[in-house]
C-alpha cells in the first residue's frame, strides 16, 4: 500500500469548547460563539480572527434537532467571518472528525494558510423518542431501522457478538462507564462532572429529602447492576453504558506548519490523518470490530510513521461502553478479544498503563454528536501541552490520537498529533 503524506505540514495552534450539557434557551450558534471565544483566548501570541480564510463545521442534524439546515454560514456570521467560505460536513457522529480532516486537507493543498474547524450539535430540545429517531437516521433507514434497531440496540448487538466470541460479561462494560465518570469528574467542561460514588450519594440525599426509603448499595458496581438505578436500555447495555443526549460546540484553529510559531510556542502538529467508510452492520465480515476504524487507523499510523505503542494520550469514540473496548482493539492497543480484560485489570484507567479517555469520554463529558470529534481534540491539546489540570497524565506526553466514529462504523476518522 502506498503511504500517503500531506503535501505540506499542518499545525493546531488554538482550541476551545463550550461546556457540554443540556442548555435550554441556547442554540448551537450560542454554543459555537462560546467555543470560538475560548479558542481565541487559547492562542497565546494572539492573532486577528479576520485572518481566518475558511470554516469547516461538523454537524450531524441541526435540520431535525433545531429545524435549521445550512448551519455553516450562520456560524461564520455569528463569529464575524462572512464572506469567507463556510461548509458543513456531515458524517453522523464523525462529523467533527471529518470536518477536522477537511480543514487539514484544505491547508495541505496550499489553498489556505489559516482555517477554523468547528463542531456543533444542539440535541436536548427534542423529546427522547424524537432524539432516538433522529440518531437512527445515521443507520440504514431501509434495512437496519425497520428491524427495530436503535443506536443503543446496534451497539448492544455488537456487544452480544463480542461476549459470545471472547467470553466477556456485561459487568465489564459497566466498568468502562465507571472509569470514564472518574475521569470526567476532573473535567470542568464535562456534562456529568460526577464520579459514580457522587451520583450514589446524591441519590441517597434526594431520597432522604423526599422522605422516601434511602437506597443502599454495597459499592459502585452494585449501583450499576441495580435495574432501578441503572435501567436496561438495550440489553446488555444499561443507561450508564450509553453516552448522554447533549448540547455543545468545539472549535480549533489550524494553520500551515511554517506559520505555527507566530501563534504559539507550543503548537501541535497533525502528523497523521485517516478516514474510512463501510456498509451497514449486516454487510460486514465481523461484528466484533469496526473495519473502518482499522483502516482509518492504519492510514493515520502510516502517515505519521508511528506505532500504537508510541501514542501517549488517546481519546476514543465511547458512544457506548462496548464501543470503547472495540476501539482499543481496532487501534492496536490490545489484541482482539483482550480489550475487555484490559478494562477489568484497570489498564485503561488514568493511572493504568494505557489510559483511555482522560477527558471522561463521550460517556461523561457528553456527546453533542457533531461536536464530539472536535471536542476530542481539545483533550489532546490540553494533555500534550500540560494544561489538563487534575487529570493531567504524567511523563510529559508527546503524541496524541483521536478516534471518531459515525453510525456503527459507516465512518471512522483517526488523527494523530505531535508536540515537538
* 367 catalytic per annotation: yes
Distance, CA of 179 to CA of 196 (rounded, Å): 9
Say whether residue 148 binds other proteins (CB under 8 A).
Answer: yes
Residue 84 φ/ψ, nearest 5 degrees: -65, 150
Say whether residue 138 binds other proteins (CB under 8 A).
Answer: no
Say whether residue 287 binds other proteins (CB under 8 A).
Answer: yes
> Measured at the alpha carbon of residue 373, what is the angle toward residues 369 and 376, in degrees to the nearest 5?
120
Nearer to other proteins, 139 or 405 (CB): 139
User: Helix axis angle, 151-166 relative to 321-330, nearest 10°?
Assistant: 60
Nearer to other proteins, 142 or 218 (CB): 142
- Half-sphere CA count of 159, side-chain side, radius 13 A: 26
Say whether residue 231 binds other proteins (CB under 8 A).
Answer: yes
Q: Are 93 and 293 in contact (CB under 8 A)?
A: no
CB of 355 to other proteins, least distance (A): 29
What x/- string results for residues 10 through 49 when contact with other proteins is judged by CB under 8 A? Answer: ----------------------------------------
Nearer to other proteins, 160 or 225 (CB): 160
CB of 142 to other proteins, least distance (A): 4
Say whether residue 126 binds other proteins (CB under 8 A).
Answer: no
User: Helix axis angle, 71-78 relative to 28-42, nearest 10°?
Assistant: 50
Say whether residue 167 binds other proteins (CB under 8 A).
Answer: no
CB of 196 to other proteins, least distance (A): 21
Binding other proteins (rule: CB under 8 A), the pick from 40, 64, 126, 161 is 161
Q: Which of 114, 126, 54 is nearest to 89 (CA)?
A: 54
- Secondary structure of 356-419 in the HEC alphabet? CCCCCHHHHHCCCHHHHHHHHHHHHHHHHCCCCHHHCCCCCCCEEEEEEEECCCCEEEEEEEEE
93 beta partners? 91
Binding other proteins (rule: CB under 8 A), the pick from 234, 343, 356, 377 is 234
**Interface segment toward other proteins; rule CB under 8 A; list 156-164, 195-203, 263-271, 297-305:** 156-164
Say whether residue 207 binds other proteins (CB under 8 A).
Answer: no
**Interface segment toward other proteins; rule CB under 8 A; list 40-48, 107-115, 147-155, 249-257:** 147-155
Nearer to other proteins, 128 or 218 (CB): 128
Nearer to other proteins, 128 or 212 (CB): 128
Say whether residue 173 binds other proteins (CB under 8 A).
Answer: no
Q: Are 331 and 419 in contact (CB under 8 A)?
A: no
Say whether residue 228 binds other proteins (CB under 8 A).
Answer: no
Task: Quote the cell numbers at residue 48.
Answer: 486577528
Annotated catalytic residue within 367, 403, 412, 415: 367
Q: Which residues of 257-291 are buried (b: 16+ CB within 10 A; e: fewer)?
A: bebbeebbebbbbbbbbbbbbbebbeebeebbbbb
CB of 147 to other proteins, least distance (A): 4
The number of residues making up the chain comes to 420
Say whether residue 64 binds other proteins (CB under 8 A).
Answer: no
DSSP string, 116-141: EEEEEEE-TTS-HHHHHHHHHTTS-T
Binding other proteins (rule: CB under 8 A), the pick from 149, 192, 223, 340 is 149
Nearer to other proteins, 104 or 322 (CB): 322
* 93 catalytic per annotation: yes
CB of 163 to other proteins, least distance (A): 8
Distance, CA of 345 to CA of 322 (rounded, Å): 16
Sheet with 10-17: strands ordered across? 86-89, 54-58, 114-122, 247-256, 10-17, 268-277, 411-419, 399-406, 313-315
Task: Report the interface residues with other proteins, using CB under 8 A.
Answer: 128-130, 132-133, 136, 142-150, 152-154, 156-161, 164, 231-237, 280-283, 287
Catalytic residues: 93, 367
Amino acid at each position: 500500500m502506498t503511504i500517503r503524506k500531506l503535501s505540506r505540514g499542518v499545525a493546531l495552534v488554538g482550541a476551545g469548547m463550550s461546556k457540554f450539557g443540556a442548555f435550554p434557551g441556547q442554540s448551537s450558534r450560542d454554543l459555537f460563539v462560546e467555543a470560538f471565544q475560548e479558542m481565541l483566548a487559547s492562542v497565546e501570541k494572539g492573532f486577528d480572527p479576520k485572518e481566518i480564510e475558511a470554516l469547516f463545521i461538523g454537524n450531524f442534524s441541526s435540520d431535525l434537532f433545531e429545524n435549521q439546515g445550512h448551519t455553516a454560514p450562520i456560524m461564520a456570521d455569528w463569529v464575524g467571518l462572512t464572506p469567507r467560505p463556510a461548509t458543513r460536513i456531515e458524517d453522523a457522529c464523525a462529523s467533527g472528525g471529518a470536518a477536522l480532516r477537511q480543514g487539514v486537507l484544505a491547508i495541505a493543498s496550499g489553498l489556505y494558510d489559516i482555517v477554523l474547524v468547528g463542531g456543533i450539535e444542539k440535541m436536548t430540545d427534542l423529546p427522547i423518542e424524537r432524539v432516538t429517531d433522529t440518531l437512527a437516521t445515521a443507520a440504514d433507514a431501509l434495512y437496519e431501522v425497520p428491524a427495530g434497531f436503535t443506536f443503543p440496540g446496534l451497539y448492544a448487538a455488537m456487544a452480544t457478538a463480542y461476549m459470545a466470541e471472547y467470553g466477556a460479561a456485561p459487568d465489564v462494560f459497566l466498568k468502562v462507564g465507571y472509569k470514564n465518570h472518574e475521569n470526567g469528574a476532573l473535567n470542568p467542561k464535562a456534562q456529568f462532572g460526577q464520579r459514580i460514588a457522587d451520583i450514589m450519594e446524591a441519590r441517597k440525599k434526594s431520597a432522604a429529602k423526599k422522605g422516601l426509603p434511602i437506597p443502599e448499595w454495597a459499592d459502585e458496581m452494585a449501583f450499576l447492576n441495580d435495574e432501578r438505578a441503572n435501567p436496561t436500555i438495550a440489553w446488555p447495555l444499561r443507561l450508564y453504558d450509553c453516552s448522554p443526549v447533549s448540547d455543545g460546540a468545539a472549535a480549533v484553529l489550524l494553520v500551515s506548519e511554517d506559520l505555527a510559531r507566530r501563534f504559539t510556542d507550543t503548537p501541535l502538529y497533525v502528523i497523521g490523518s485517516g478516514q474510512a467508510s463501510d456498509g451497514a452492520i449486516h454487510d460486514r465480515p465481523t461484528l466484533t470490530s469496526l473495519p473502518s476504524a482499522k483502516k482509518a487507523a492504519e492510514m493515520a499510523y502510516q502517515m505519521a510513521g508511528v506505532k500504537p505503542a508510541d501514542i501517549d494520550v488517546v481519546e476514543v469514540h465511547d458512544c457506548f461502553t462496548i464501543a470503547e473496548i472495540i476501539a482499543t482493539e481496532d487501534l492496536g492497543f490490545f489484541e482482539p478479544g483482550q480489550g475487555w480484560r484490559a478494562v477489568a485489570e484497570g489498564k485503561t484507567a488514568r493511572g493504568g498503563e494505557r489510559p483511555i479517555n482522560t477527558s471522561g469520554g463521550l460517556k461523561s463529558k457528553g456527546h453533542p454528536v457533531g461536536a464530539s470529534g472536535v471536542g476530542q481534540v481539545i483533550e489532546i491539546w490540553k494533555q500534550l501541552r500540560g494544561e489538563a489540570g487534575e487529570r493531567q497524565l504524567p511523563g510529559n506526553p508527546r503524541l496524541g490520537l483521536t478516534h471518531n466514529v459515525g453510525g456503527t462504523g459507516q465512518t471512522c476518522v483517526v488523527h494523530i498529533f505531535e508536540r515537538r
